[in-house]
Structure 1
Amino acid sequence: MAFSKAAGSPADTTVHTSEQGLQGGDIGIPVGDAVLPAYYALPEGRRGLPVVLVVQEIFGVHEHIKDVCRRLAHAGYFAIAPELYFRQGDASTYDDIPTLFGEIVNKVPDAQVMGDLDAALAWAGTLGADTSRAALTGFCWGGRVTWLYCAHSEQVRCGVAWYGRLEGDRNELRPRQPLDLAGALKAPVLALYGGRDDGIPLDQVERMKRALAQGSAAARASSFVVYPDAPHAFYADYRPSYRADAAADGWQRMLAYFQEKLGA
């Protein structure tokens, strides 16, 4: 199992989901002149499955994100996780989070991310997945991206954002934040957040709720679940931040949401 160095040593609570009964693995998706690395998993021999795009944490598509894909595959989905900043560098080679942010993460344009997610979704269709029934979920960095993609895509039916940043600085690479786009969502979002997340205070959550309530039909259909005692990254079973009860509840809520929106 290969975890990003910057994430630290895997905790004893780390989950490893069996590959038995699944097909998939590491692949490359042509995107213009580049080849987008990705990991995918689905139940062996199945076609016509709904698609779930899995959006990485800051650590890239390392073992935890691949395991999330396998968990979704066992639940009956075609899950695919594209490496969304491969053009900027290899996140797995960094030893610390500040350097990883400075040299890679902060140099990733939102427009690049949206295009690569579009390409990953289209590629899933070439393998027989039903891209008319598509959703996405993302964690931390990917939670923010989930909000952005639900304002960007005409194709996804819903998103599940795990503790993604809602506000922040704006620049040429990141011209808008989720709060700026809340009213213009094209697909509803189920938002799973921690009440003890030091990086995303609850006043941000309240501002987001107010913006959603005044927005599009998809925005008004979005909802938050806040776990009062959970910190940031409470789903990350390989880290000390993991909170098993909140993680299990959030996962079941996500699966129920996908069932409702995708008819899986």
Structure 2
Amino acid sequence: MTAVQGTAVDIPTEDGIADAYLAQPGDGAAHPAVLLFMDAFGLRPHLRSMADRLAGAGYTVLVPNLFYRAGRAPLFDLPDFIDPQARPGTWKQIMPVMQALTGERAMRDAGAYLRWLAASPAVADGPVALTGYCMGARLALLTAGTYPERVAAAAGFHGGRLATDKPDSPHLVAGDVTAELYFGHADQDHSLPPEQIDRLEQALTEAGVRHRCEVYTGAPHGFTQADTAAYHREGDERHWSALLDLLARTF
């Protein structure tokens, strides 16, 4: 694991300025880029630590505050250990902000993040990889289909609503995806029931997308987030192994 440099950066978008965290190896060289899409709890110390871990493995990692339209991070009054059941008011804060981030807005922003990475001296030439968590898994899939020429690989973990019956469902971009995809689904996840898992698998297979979808038995929704009550150590370790394997194959 190499030394890591972490900095706060601002990214111009079509709708304003997105604050973000950039982690990179401390050697001053350009490295392959990973765009990390946050979960609904937002840009916070745990996500910065995840970015640092990826940077220590040799990648330049950008973690944007996807909710920048509502303000700079941190937006929510979160404890060091997040247990929404213990603080039911947490979701009342988060839901309106999350619902305001439409797919159209998110993909407009994703284009800005990808352009910023392409222009950064910290990033090696070529396409990038994506990884996303909870709502971020949905955005990773949408981004892979919206910007196929810029995305070489994308991973999503404990994602919800990946293959709904709505016209804006993420799985409908499968035909445009050229990246290799990996999904680690949470077991018995109410936001991704078995019929959606099957629908996603079918869409990716029929589109000829290189992919692997796995259900992590016993892992709850949010299993990678160590600062929450949903954390599941076995599932998290499996996630890191799968993600780093995907990145190694990509770059």
- Tell me the TM-score normalized by structure 2: 0.86
Deviation (angstroms), 1:181? 2.1
Distance (whole Å) between structure 2 residues aligned to residue 102 and residue 52 of structure 1: 27
More off after superposition, 88-97 vs 146-155: 88-97
Equivalent-residue separation in structure 2 for 1:71 and 1:192 (angstroms): 19
Structure 1 residues 198-230: Cα deviation after superposition (integer angstroms, max 9, x where no partner): 221122111111111111x3x2x1111111111
Q: Which residue of 1 aligns with 2:105?
A: 112
1:81 maps onto 2:63 in alignment: yes
1:165-184 pair list within 5 angstroms: 165=160, 166-168=162-164, 170=166, 176-184=168-176
Distance 1:120 1:140 in 2: 19
Q: Percent same amino acid at aligned positions?
A: 27
2:49 is aligned with 1:60: no
Q: Secondary structure at the match of 1:130?
A: coil
**Contact map agreement 1:161 1:192 (CA 8 A) in 2:** yes
Tell me if the contact between 1:49 and 1:76 (Cα under 8 Å) persists in the aligned partners: yes
Structure 1 gaps, min length 5: 1-17
Q: CA deviation at 1:152?
A: 0.8
Task: Give the root-mean-square deviation of aligned CA atoms.
Answer: 2.1
One-letter code of the match for 1:51?
A
Question: Aligned to 2:116, which of 102, 119, 123?
Answer: 123
Task: Specify the alignment match of 1:38 in structure 2.
Answer: 20
- 1:70 has 2:52 as partner: yes
Aligned counterpart, 1:6: none
**1:228 equivalenced with 2:223 (yes/no):** no
Which residue number in structure 1 is paired with residue 82 of structure 2? none
Distance verdict in 2 for CA 1:118–1:45, change over 3 Å: farther
CA distance in 1, matches of 2:115, 2:218: 39
Q: Describe the shift of the 1:41–1:147 C-alpha distance in structure 2 as closer, same or farther (beyond 3 A).
A: same
Matched, 1:140 2:134: yes
For residues 212 and 93 of structure 1, the distance between their equivalents in structure 2, rounded to whole angstroms, comes to 35
Q: How many angstroms apart in 2 are the aligned matches of 1:86 and 1:231?
A: 28
Q: State yes or no: 1:193 paired with 2:175.
A: no
Structure 2: distance between partners of 1:244 and 1:33: 38
Alignment check: 8 A CA contact 1:31 1:119 kept: yes
Provide the TM-score with structure 1 as the length reference: 0.82
For 1:30 and 1:208, how far apart are their aligned partners in 2?
Answer: 33
Q: Partners of 2:14 and 2:73 in 1: how far apart?
A: 22
- Once the two structures are TM-superposed, the CA of residue 74 in structure 1 deviates from its matched residue by 0.5
Structure 1 contact 89–104 (Cα < 8 Å) conserved = no
Question: SS state of the match for residue 198, structure 2?
Answer: helix
User: 1:168 deviation in Å?
Assistant: 4.3
